[in-house]
Every structure is written in structure tokens, then in C-alpha cells.
Amino acid sequence: MTSTMTKTQPELTADDPFLWLEDRNGKEALDWVHRQNALTAAELQGDPSYQATFETALDLMTAEDNIAVGAALAGYVYNFWQDKTNALGLWRRTPVASYKTDKPEWETIIDFDQLSVKEGIKWVFGGASRLYPDFNRCLLYMSPDGGDASEMREFDIATKSFVEDGFRAPASKSGFSWLDKDTVIVSAAFAEDDKTQSGYPRIIKLWRRGTKLEDATPIFEGEKQHLAVGGGVEYDGDKRHVLLGKTLDFFTSHSFLRLTSGENRRIPLPDDATDTAVFKGQLIFGVRSPWTAPDGTQCLPDGLYSLDFDRWIESGAFGPFQTVLAPARRVSIAGLARTKDRLFINLMDNVRGKVIACDRTADGWSLKKIALPDNGNVGISHVEHFGSSVSFSFTDFLTPSSIIWSDDNGETLQTVKSQPARFNASPYVSEQFEARSKDGTMIPYFVVRRRDQKGPVPALLYGYGGFEVPLLPGYAGIRGKLWLDRGNAYIQANIRGGGEFGPAWHQAALKGKRQNAFDDFAAVAEDVVKRGITTAAQLGIQGGSNGGLLTGTSLTQRPELFGAVIIDVPLLDMLRYTELPPGASWIAEYGDPSKPEEAAWLGAYSPYQHVAADTAYPPVLLMTSTADDRVHPGHARKMAARLQETGHDRTLFFEETEGGHGGRGDRRPQAAQTAMRYMFLQRALGGVA
């Protein structure tokens, strides 16, 4: 342990010379950002190869023959579309029959570029809550900067206009859904008293048409320390259920049914219930840890179970539990979705996808595998909750995405959209290997490279490893054109902490076990070198958000394993992350630095505190966004400043001023950042320009 880490958390905070960089919009901090941006742009955008790389990235991001992914509702397919002409995008629709053709006839609902010019704000579309049963009225979400906080306005699709004197709320992290045409369920996060300590909604209210938002009636509350509350309406056939929930932390919650009497009755499932759905009078659920149901049924992780929900509503008693899907080794549940008449389970089988259709009969549940392609990433693209249409997506590292459509609950399948190939995949092969981690656990990973590779080549290793989020095979034309086609290899690691193999895989790197994820990533890096795929000097790594914590920790713990490190929108100061909103929401994942025992394990790896002047680090590129209201830009700013202060002059920093955590909005800055990443890798690792 370094001498720095023997200090207490208050001492570390007091010693932090870069706290001023946490002032998101402070003049001094932004002046620093602008100076850093100028230096990084001069180096990376000044490269002779940059302009062509940028244009390629932008062309592929905005290509008119990209797949228009859509969801069917009441005879139309709705889609959000961006291209070079429509930088902020169009929300549009087309009849289902037209969508299936090569050239659908799209009807524009909202042109966000035009709206932004009219109102002087670069609005970024955030989705819409639709009013049952005709779905013409919606509660529209728009972000003024691409962040998570959005303004809400009532909109009429039939007239393509905002509703005069309709429901409207200022930008916040609140949630809105329809109870009926004159009542909105508001999960409020406006005033400080409305918010949890993480900045998310704490109170649910009913807002009547014609009344002020501040006069809405509270009907449900969470505690300040909870993550959030939320509410909405769930339809099961003609039955309407008003469901309310308290999310205690990222992995536990309490669910309630609001009865017609006004009582909020808790549904007595375990706190860590997951994958829930209401379907044909049944409540389907999974669990993250073993649970014995009231009737003695053993409910296990990676399985699905059901109970008679209608009976519970009437009597308050569950009755017998049934097994919908039994657990299987290395098979985990990716999600549930339902049409009016069928339930679909998206599974991951050794990091490859498949979909199971479930039918409810008098004898219980019957399961049937949907006849989709094997050995790739299969997902559910959309389901029509009030109809029978469903579509599936298929892709892998070398196969462009396609949309497989069904109008009859998955019985008849038709490929209706296929992404054109963006690079010639024939010279490449996708392989799956395993690396032995420090504790002996075998960690799967994928490698995409040329079939005729003779010796080590520059390679990019990507990882995430957190929050039960899996990394699955997927086609990326930009990666193919700008990385693979230059003779390089791509590696994707399925480390612990992710969701590739269900809750146990995630829990193996939770809180005080976080080091397992970092060890897994290092093991993959060592394994690809041992196999001769690349060398340490030619191996770059990249990760974003929690993956930025992964690459930041890899930099400070094992710098000798890598030739370049990209750290995107990261968490890096793990002893102050709860002080930077909404960091407190992740305590269930990482631990609480205000508790000495937990601060000890956080401090043991927190990258910001482990930057050393006497250690040789590879070149580093940190990227973040001023408008990121999910992971504070202060993490990346402070890390860059500390690296540079301690003499690591191969540290570059770039901060986009808009776009939020996921880089939403105009594709041009996204293409520029993508091009800069590839310029950075090319310059650091060598290879073909």
C-alpha cells in the first residue's frame, strides 16, 4: 500500500489540489478544459490521417442506408432517425406494410432540427409516453443538452403539434406516464425535497389536467437514501394495473400495486426480484439470490417463476408457484418482453443469444425456441404490447445487423431489414477463447482478426464488467473500416461484474470483490500476448463509464501490459464518487466511501489516488462531456490533471460540451471523438495509417 493510501478520506480530500475541476461549469475549470481541448485537437486532429478518418466515421454514422430500427404500435412503425441533413433527428412513422419495403414512406412527426432553430435550443429527443388506447397523445421528453435531465411536453401526433395549455414540466430527471387522458403519474425530481440523495425521483404524485404541477397530489414516497421511485400503468389484456415501486439500490426494490381504494399494497416478492412481467393473470419474476416461495418452491437465479397475480389481487394470497424456465449452466436471462398473447424470453447461452416463446395454457407453461440464427447476438428488437407483432435483431462481429419481423407472435419470420456490409469480412475470423484469472476462474473473450495473421499485430481490448451488463458480439462498420481493415485485431472481454452468466457472475466482482474484474481483464491481456495475437506494446485498451474505471485502474495497476489506454466518461476518484451526483446511486455496486471498511477496498484500487510519478505509463486519452449528468466530468478532469502534474506528458484530455453520458445529439462531435480515438491508437500502437 502506498503512503498516500494510509491517509483517511478527509485527509485525502484536503490534499486534493484539483477539487476545483469538479465545478462543472466554473470559469476556471472550463478555461482549463478549453486549453486541454486545444492541445488534444492540435495533436490528434492535426494528424494528416484525421480528416479522412473523421469523414469515414461520419459517413457511416449518418448513412442513409443504415437500418431504421422501429417499434410497431396501432398499425404504424415509429422510428427516430439521424443523418447528415437531420443532425438532431426526425421522429417519424410509416405504416407497417410500408416499413417492410425497401423504401418506406416516412411521415415526419417532429423535426428536431427545425424545432431547435425555432426555439434556439438544441433539443435532443428522449422518447415519449403514449396514451392508451389510440396512442395519439404523448408525453414527450426532450433534453436541452443531451443529458439525462429532460423537459416534458404534451404532444398530439395527429396534429403534429404541442398541446396548447397541455401538460408541461421543466427539465429534470423526473418521470411521467399516463394514468388517463386527464391525469399524469409524476415521479418527481424537481425541488430538493422531491429528490433522493442520488438526484432521482423520491415522490410519486397525480397531476390533474388544468392544475399546476406544484399542486399535484402525492400518493407514494421513498426514503432520501433510496435510489428512486417510479410508477406507471401496466395493461394485461383489458385489465389495468397501476404499479408503483421503490428502487432501494441498483439491485433491490419493493413493488406495489395501487388498488382502486387508494391503498398501495406491496407485492411480497424478495427484494432482489428481477425480470418481472404481468401476463395473462400471472406475475412472472426471477431472483438474484435463492428464495423459498411461501408454498415451498425453490426459486433460483437464472430461472423464471410465476404466480397467480389475479388471485393475489382478489385475496391477498399467492397460491401455488410455477416454474416457467429452469436454470441451466452458463445460460442467463437477458430480458423479457410480451405481445398481447405471448411472452418472450431473451437468453444468453455462453454469450450467444436465443429467444424462447412462452405460452400460457390450462396445464401451465409451454416453451418453444424461436427459429432464429444461431451463434450470434440475438435480441428482441420490439414487441407490440397491444398486438401480435414482434421483431428480432441478429448480428455478430462479422455479420451486419438484420431485423427479423413477425406479425403472428413469432410463428412466421421474415427478414425485413439488413444493414449493408461496411467492410469486407471475408479475410477475418471471430474466435472465442478463455483466460485463467488470478483466482483460477476461466474468463471468456472474443478475438476478431485476419485469418492469415502471421505474427503479433496492434490490438484493441474492450471491457466493461459491472452492473450486470453483458458485452455481446456485435457488428461495427466503423471498427471494421478504421481498425480491422488496417491489419489490426479487436478483443472483447467478458469479465466478472457483467451480466454474461447471470447474477453470480456479477456478484463475483461486487463491492469488495471488485479486484476480480481488474484481474480478469489483466488475465485476458496476458493471454492474448501469450497466444501471439499481439504484444504488450501493441495492445490498447478502451472502456467507458464503469469501463472507464476498469481501464483507469488497469493503467495504474498493470501499466506494463498495455501500449495505450482510452478512458471514456469514467469514474476514477472512488473516494469522492458519492459526492459527485448521482454517484450515491452506485453504492450497491461499489461500496460507500464514508464507511471505513468500504473506503479501504475502494481506496485500494481508486485510480485517481494511485497515480505515481515514478511509474512508466503508456499514452493515455481521457474523454468526457460537460453535459454528462450521469458520471460527473470531474473524474476525468482530475485524473488528467494529476497524470500531467506527475510528469506523464503523454496524457491527452478532451471534453465535449454537449451530448451527455451516451453522446446523444449531433453525430458530428461523436464522429470527431471516434476519429480522435483511432488517431490516438494508431499513433501509440503503430500499424497501417
Contact predicate 336/277, CB 8 Å: yes
Check 406, 545, 554, 585 and give the catalytic one.
Answer: 545
Cell numbers that stand for 296 in this block? 415451498
Q: What are the two backbone dihedrals, phi and then psi, of residue 496, each rounded to the nearest 5 degrees?
A: -65, 155
How are strands ordered across the β-sheet holding 203-208?
175-180, 183-188, 203-208, 217-221
Cell numbers that stand for 609 in this block? 489516488
Q: Which residues contact 673 (CB under 8 A, 6 or more apart)?
A: 623, 654, 656, 663
DSSP output for 197-244: TTSSB-EEEEEETTS-GGGPEEEEE--TTSSEEEEEEEEETTEEEEEE
- Examine the residue annotation and report whether 187 is marked as an active-site residue of this protein: no
Q: What angle do CA 384, 389, 393 make, to 5 degrees?
A: 95
The radius of gyration computed from the CA coordinates of the chain, to the nearest angstrom, equals: 25
- The DSSP output letter for 469 is P
Cell numbers that stand for 614 in this block? 515514478
Q: How far apart are CA 170 and CA 212, in angstroms?
A: 12
Q: How far apart are CA 89 and CA 84, in angstroms?
A: 9
Q: How far apart are CA 24 and CA 60, in angstroms?
A: 32
Cell numbers that stand for 640 in this block? 488528467
Q: Which residues contact 41 (CB under 8 A, 6 or more apart)?
A: 654, 676
Look-up: residue for cell 437477458? 334
Q: How far apart are CA 649 and CA 620, in angstroms?
A: 9
Give the chain's length.
689
CA 225 to chain centre: 23
- Examine the residue annotation and report whether 648 is marked as an active-site residue of this protein: no
Q: How far apart are CA 233 and CA 178, in angstroms?
A: 7
DSSP output for 119-175: HTS--EEEEEEEPTTT--EEEEEEESSSSS-EEEEEEETTTTEEPTT--EEEEES-E
3-class SS of residue 572: coil
Cβ–Cβ contacts within 10 Å for residue 174, how many? 24
**Active-site annotation, residues:** 545, 661
